[in-house]
Amino acid sequence: MVYIFLADGFEEIEGLTVVDLLRRAGIEIRTVSITGTKQVMGSHKIKVEADEIFGESDYGKADMLVLPGGMPGTRHLAEHRRLVDLLKQANKEERNIAAICAAPSVLGLNGILQGKRATCFPGFEDKLAGANVTGNKTETDANIITGKGMGAAIDFSLCIIKELKDEETAGKIAAAIQYI
């Protein structure tokens, strides 16, 4: 199971592209609101109803935890102590974590990117503490996948599919959506 955590102000394309492409690949993904209600407002005022509210599942068995970027969504993710504790524990156990755009800053500010290649939205590089910041569209290093921004949402999603399934499945999804 993959969980994608949504906060008010999340970047809709970064969050929903991941959900869409993973479901096309047959990967079970649940949207999780950290707002206390299932209703989450994206950064462009698109209302989304999450599948669940934070705390309703046992995320300890997750195949991957995903953070979309956007502002102020990223700031809200970083302020959610239970989510941050979950991310730290998942990293300690070398479980998969993915973050795109500004959201890799949540990982960097909490020591999760130490010694790893990572990318993020320009202007957030200083928040990727201890990372080798590449500026590439996507980076995969050990258990961490990062994406640069909204324009990399499809590539980011395909990297997650490659990690959880295989390159062939990611290629089939890319072909099905006319990406290649």
Alpha carbons 38 and 6: distance in angstroms, whole number: 10
Q: What does the radius of gyration of the chain's CA atoms come to, in whole angstroms? A: 15
Tokens of 36: 């206390």
- Sorted by sequence, the CB contacts under 8 Å of residue 135 that are 6+ apart come out as 119, 122, 148
Alpha carbons 169 and 42: distance in angstroms, whole number: 29
Among the listed residues 101, 133, 158, 173, the single catalytic one is: 101
Helix (H, G, I), strand (E, B) or coil at 155: helix
Which residues partner with 138 through β-bridges?
A: 147
If phi over 0 gives left and psi between -120 and 50 gives alpha, with beta otherwise, what is residue 13?
alpha
> Does residue 120 have an active-site annotation?
no
Q: Hey, which residues are catalytic here?
A: 101
